[in-house]
Structure 1
Amino acid sequence: MRDWINRNYDYYEFLTPEMRNTSLQLQGPCYPVIFPSVNVYWSCQFIARASNISLRHWQQMGGVNINEDMVIDKSIHRSINSRSSVLKRYMADIGKSWPVLIVCGGMLPLFLSVIWLLMIRHFVSAMPWITVALFNILIITVTMFYYLKAGWIGNDAISPIIGEHDPYINVFGRELHHLRAVAILMTFIMVVSILTSIAIVRRILMATSVLKASSNLL
């Protein structure tokens, strides 16, 4: 096996003339690596566009004609993007990130709520404005994050391809469409949030006096 690795798994020259002939007819034991492949969700998936160098070398050897077939490529992507496959990946992500969910969804909000009560106690007049400002900043930040991961801003879009790969090779996953849908939804929520904050300025002023009265109970 080590010798094969050192030879880059090239053992064609060791075959008998009969085996070479069958290999050139795509009947084995050697099969040409004509199509490039990428790591898609930890599985080796080839791209149904032949490599020019490999294909030319194959033709010079007298190999049979190989046609590019996008049907196979589409069938692989259809399997990767099936609802069951996407659901399994989502569940696997949740299974791996449960410590983060517990900390960010339970412990951190509890700690921040205590800090918030202390701030209300000592900064009564400013708290309504601080609350509205932080809420809008959070909404805008989350919306921009979805724009980044959806590929609409910058070059950090989520990709099903793992590791380094040819930048001209693109494989789209269903998750990217989900992110773009959420980005559109967050854009709508952001606009409504900002307009609502402007519309309730008078009520925010009224809330300041209410907080002053209630802060005496803390």
Structure 2
Amino acid sequence: TPEMRNTSLQLQGPCYPVIYPSVNVFWSCQFIARPSNVSLQHWQQMGGVKINEGLEIDKAIHNEINSHSAVLKRYMADIGKAWPVLIVCGGILPLFLSVIWLLLIRHFVPGMPWITVALFNVLILSVTMFFYLKAGWIGNDAVTPIVGEHDPYIHVYGRELNHIRATAILMTIVTAFSILASIAIVRRILMATSV
């Protein structure tokens, strides 16, 4: 449609016209090859954004994708899509688990310190492994800004991947500290449960 063509010429998705090979990054057209003079001439004749050289189009796209308003818009869209998960995992599931926890405290008093320490360490270790998965350090499931199908040899990294990698490193430090603290309090737990 003419509307889709106009949004594409402003470097917004969908990627139309197909003058350059492109990939859909955060619903914006990210070009994966340097434009030739002929394709650049066609781009300008169609009314595309003014471009001086091959790198300028990349700079224009990156400035648009990384602007504060675009990042905030993406985060709000993610919250809008994930609201059922937030309600279940942030409200209903914790309420159910807290009732189970109270029942465990009532019926298994001597074992509760050990259950608490073991569950805490397993939980923090699994959260750390999740961040390692999403950072791409374990497996091939790294966070990517590319939307939909794309060539597997194209790698576009956004600032979100850097945030997840920094969080994975932070969680590694927190996990190591918590496991060492758990080992350090074993004697105190033994003294407390023997009373």
Q: Which residue does the alignment assign to 1:130? A: 115
Equivalent runs, 1:162-173 vs 2, <5 Å: 162-173=147-158
Q: Who is 1:72 aligned against?
A: 57
1:129 Cα offset (Å): 0.9
Show the 5 A alignment for 1:4-153: 33-49=18-34, 69-153=54-138
The alpha carbon displacement at 1:107 in A equals 1.6
Partner Cα distance (2:55, 2:167) in 1: 30
TM, length-normalised to structure 2: 0.76
Matched residue, 1:8: none
Deviation at 1:84?
2.4
Who wins on radius of gyration, i.e. which is larger? 1
Give me the CA root mean square deviation.
2.5
Q: Name the structure, 1 or 2, with higher relative contact order (CA <8 Å, separation 6+).
A: 1
- Could you tell me how far apart the structure 2 residues matched to 1:73 and 1:145 are? 32
Tell me how far apart the structure 2 counterparts of residues 173 and 83 of structure 1 sit (CA, whole Å). 13
- Asked whether the equivalents of residues 131 and 168 of structure 2 are also in contact (C-alpha less than 8 Å), the reply is yes
Q: Which residue of 1 aligns with 2:7?
A: none
Counterpart residue number, 1:22: none
Q: Deviations over 1:175-201 (max 9, x none)?
A: 111111111111111111101101111
For residue 30 of structure 2, give the secondary structure of its aligned residue in structure 1: strand
Which residue identity is paired with 2:150?
Answer: H
Tell me the distance in 1 between the aligned counterparts of 2:18 and 2:27.
19
Of the structure 1 ranges 195-204 and 78-87, higher mean CA displacement relative to structure 2 is found in 78-87
| Residue identity in the other structure for 2:60 | S
The answer on whether the counterparts of 2:134 and 2:141 sit within 8 Å (CA) in structure 1 is yes
- Matched to 1:101, the amino acid is L
Deviation at 1:48, TM superposition (A): 3.5
What 5-or-longer segments of structure 2 have no aligned partner? 2-16, 40-51
2:54 partner letter = D
Cα 1:167–1:50, aligned 2, differ >3 Å: closer, same or farther? farther
Q: Deviations over 1:71-109 (max 9, x none)?
A: 211321232122321122112211221221122112211
- Give how far 1:124 is off: 1.9
Structure 1 residues without counterparts, runs of 5 or longer: 2-31, 56-66, 211-218
Residue 38 of structure 1 aligns to a residue whose secondary structure is strand
Contact between 1:86 and 1:175, CA under 8 Å: does it hold in 2?
Answer: no
